Structure 1
């Protein structure tokens, strides 16, 4: 009987451990953290109507502190064995940052201080994380103030933070669910935005994410052109002076830069640090999120001033932004087909996006919601490096000239790199497929080019008064 009791206790203890480990696969928690904060003033009692009639009935905040002090903030943390995501419900509901636990790298830049400065529509704004912009224009009025939030454990075992608010000028309502599954090295944001009014409202949505600005950074924005805020089209990635603008270090000219990249039907964009061998990315169906924007502070003292103003020790950052429209349009004398869209009465929109880290791929040449890969041809050898976000069994296939050059069965695991090489003669085009991860790379980029014009025909232009 004693032996039975001992065995029973051991079995019970093991059961508790197993159940506990299963529950610990993914977790969500709420805590209060003391963060160095440079606060802003109470609101100006005069509504913003006198300065910007688009923003009534909001008030502005006009005073900013030069001295930081400790302040307590609510922090929501979502965590699984692969990544950690933090959210700030009292600062617009923004994602504060995200970390790849395999190497400790931040694939979403987290600013360790709350250094509010006069940048947003109402004034105060902090850099870093992922900012959710809905309404008239960015940076949205709620970006530095508390929003509604709730946390949830879902029936599929995943965990979620849901943040949201109402945009007062338009009376539209927005919600964003930040969702983390237990078996993925990526997280998802699911947006819902609706217009309950009987009037057409302004339609502006951009998800503004931040990453570290470093000299070894190559940004990956598939396309052959970029649009200025006015809709004017320019060459990408190589400009008219032969500079490859996709390399951060090649942007050491002129001032701050906005590149709304267009011209290729791809669902992903992001960046890769070649010296550090890691990167970051975003995926969403192109038909849902065609906007892919890169923002850079000037690589001179003009931008360095803002590094000093916005952070203490975290350094400069870039923004990789995903939008529902091609460009953050601002009208000018330039005539082109790009225009602002309106939010139809009694209508709603919803969409989802995936955010992920990269490691060891050498770049990002293809990505999906399940994985990413770097593909390079050096001489007669094709090198394929596949990074899965989820455990999967599949095949890596390489094709050229109607022949299958490689077919290899693979067991994929999150954050575990798979590396393949195959020889191919000459300069013939080739394709790489990993069907189970929805990855399909084509070396012939012309097949992916969009024929949509982003400039106005000269004959039409001649008739414009």
Structure 2
């Protein structure tokens, strides 16, 4: 049989914002995570769902850094892409951006099946910050958009089950320390992209696991999924069971008919085929189906409210249509984590392709027709057979390498002597970030940062913490040990480690900043402010007139220090910190917002209002954050201008 599937490299040129540096300060504070509910909402849930909602939620981003250095200054920039296509479909994959499928085109009709964002614009939606909209995203780790959204993954050619080629993507997910792979292939003549996914737990203990495939589609559609009920979750953080399709007087399977942003987790009955589709008014669109392990299906809508519209504009450029998301996950809702047993794995197969069916009409009639149509174009048995055919190929070693991810998997493989057939994490991928930890692994000590640079990130897993505890107790080691102990929940020991590190005052600011965060968590804002000011003074002395790596850390520490000082009414000290920040830093939107708070605290309302009138954009404004509205309300009773309205729920 002639195989016509091809994989090739391509370079896209997109209006793209600059990602910038990661935040160099360790993320010690609890996660600002919206997907949490009160115990009262668990009472009526199925027992397994209630248990999984309460199972091992993520409390910290460590060891992953916050990505908040991006801007909104878009300019034409090259983006590496990998294209896999046959005579029916063309999928464009972005290996440097989490392996996102940016486009899926049905070649005979030229129809784009996804919402394809014409720009690359990061925004603060991922667990660790930077995320962008559009395409198909692979979400692993914990509730929310993956920390790999804007990070590279490994990619290579691999033999496909039909004798052709697959595109394999793989990485090491650092929040849960789990390797995973995504295999993409197009059977000859197929209208469906096949996606084999595997998550492995190579450890000697069970690990909480999370996965949702997130598919962006144009929002002018009707979403079909085989369910009569759904679990509704909104920004009020309430989970409630609602009927499908009509809820609260409107058919919510049409995304434009919702006012505010919301999740609808469809309750697909056991034994029913797993699928979800988005169809336009003419009945054309995309369908996603899978083997039964991927049990959950979801619709996310932005809603027609001003906040939802503003976020849609924020994520792309004027004139671009809106989108919604249809998703598929391991659990029924995104509030849940499932347990992956020690030294085990979970895998499944997904299929994506064009779909035509009648979208309008009575719900059950529409579903029955759509499901029958799906069985005609892609029988359920064929999906199961494709999964069985793929499984023997999941361990096949990759051929030509097409992209390189991080070196964190290589470090863990070296440490534990892991054997992970199919997803090699080669020593050649080890880089600068891994160097000090490789030295700790091999020599038992941490080297000092070269050329007086700030300390890098901290590895916090138990095995690395044990190594730090037995390493020579330098100030740098005590700093990293404290971060690891803090992550483990041993805050008292963390404080002692940071205090021991201060005995050598060569570089005090990293430990002082950690102690300041500890003071805030202990509800001691006065002492936190003292330590923040001391830390910032020490950092300024150490950084001197240098820039580069120091610019990012000065901005990050200065931002936290200003907030801490304003919280206790020390406006003069806050102004002192503000004035020592680099002018380019002060001009950034996040710092313009801080300036408004500072001017308000100084009683300079007219000048604070002038900042709003001049205009600013907070590039890293967090999803659901209402700080802009609160500061505006402190200035005036006028309505919040549209450009600043990011509210995702009704005004209280």
Please give the TM-score of this superposition, normalised by the length of structure 1. 0.68
Q: What is residue 222 of structure 2 aligned with on the other side?
A: 218
Show the counterpart of 1:37. Answer: 16
Task: Give the conservation status (yes or no) of the 8 Å contact 1:373–1:385.
Answer: no
Q: Are 1:358 and 2:352 matched, yes or no?
A: no
Shift of 1:37: 0.6
Measured at CA, do residues 126 and 101 of structure 1 come closer, stay the same or move farther in structure 2, by a change above 3 Å? same
Aligned to 1:71: 77
Unpaired runs of at least 5, structure 2:
32-58, 384-652
Q: Does 1:28 align with 2:28?
A: no
- Runs of 4+ in structure 1 off by over 6 angstroms are 384-387, 434-438
Secondary structure of the corresponding residue to residue 44 of structure 1: coil
More helix by percentage? 2
Match of 1:260 among 265, 283, 294: 265
Give the equivalent residue in structure 1 for 2:136: 130
In the alignment, the residues of structure 1 paired with residue 380 and residue 126 of structure 2 have an alpha-carbon distance, to the nearest angstrom, of 43
In structure 1, stretches of 5+ residues that fail to align are 1-18, 330-338, 366-371, 377-383, 391-433, 439-465
The Cα of 1:344 is off from its aligned counterpart by 2.2
CA change 1:340–1:27 in 2 (3 A) is closer
Contact 1:171 1:196 (8 Å CA) reproduced? no
What is the alpha-carbon distance in structure 1 between the residues aligned to residue 192 and residue 380 of structure 2?
19
What's the CA shift string for 1:357-385, capped at 9, x where partnerless?
A: 124x32499xxxxxx99739xxxxxxx86
Could you tell me how far 1:222 is from its partner in structure 2?
1.5
1:159 maps to 165
Q: Which of 286, 289, 293 pairs up with 1:288?
A: 293
Residue 166 to residue 303, structure 1, CA distance change in 2 (3 Å): same
Contact kept in structure 2, 1:154 and 1:160, CA below 8 Å: yes
Task: Tell me the SS of whatever aligns to 2:169.
Answer: strand
User: 2:369 matched to 1:375?
Assistant: yes
1: CA distance, partners of 2:360 / 2:192: 15
Query: How far off is 1:152 after superposition?
Result: 3.1
The residue that corresponds to 2:343 in the other structure is 346
Match of 1:396 in 2: none
Q: Which residue of 1 aligns with 2:279?
A: 272
Give, in whole Å, the separation in 2 of the partners of 1:67 and 1:435: 47
2:98 alignment partner, SS class: coil
**1:233 equivalenced with 2:241 (yes/no):** yes
Instruction: Tell whether the 8 Å contact from 1:98 to 1:109 is kept in structure 2 after alignment.
Output: no
Q: SS of 2:350's equivalent?
A: strand
Find the partner of 1:144 among 141, 145, 150. Answer: 150
Deviation at 1:292? 0.3
* Cα drift, residue 228 of structure 1: 3.2
Give the superposition deviation at 1:96. 1.1
Q: Is the contact made by 1:197 and 1:345 (CA closer than 8 Å) also made in structure 2? A: yes
Would you say the 8 A contact 1:271–1:364 is kept in 2?
Answer: no
Mapped to 2, the partners of 1:298 and 1:227 lie a distance apart of: 17
1:389-429 Cα shifts (integer Å, max 9, x gaps): 58xxxxxxxxxxxxxxxxxxxxxxxxxxxxxxxxxxxxxxx
Other structure's SS at 2:332 match: coil
Quote the offset at 1:436 in angstroms.
Answer: 9.0
Computing the radius of gyration from Cα coordinates, the structure with the larger value is: 2
2:252 to 241, 245, 256: 245
CA distances 1:415-448 after superposition (whole Å, capped 9, x unpaired):
xxxxxxxxxxxxxxxxxxx89979xxxxxxxxxx
1:157–1:181 CA contact under 8 A, matched in 2 = no
- Once residues 341 and 368 of structure 2 are traced to their aligned partners in structure 1, the CA distance between those partners, rounded to angstroms, is 41
> Which residue is 1:336 aligned to?
none
Deviations 1:63-83 (A, max 9, x none): 332220122221111111111
Matches within 5 A, 1:96-115: 96-115=102-121
Give the distance between the partners of 1:373 and 1:242, measured in 2 at CA.
21
Q: 1:228 to 1:183 in 2, by over 3 A?
A: same
CA contact (8 A) 2:82 2:94 kept: yes
The structure in which a higher percent of residues are strand is 1
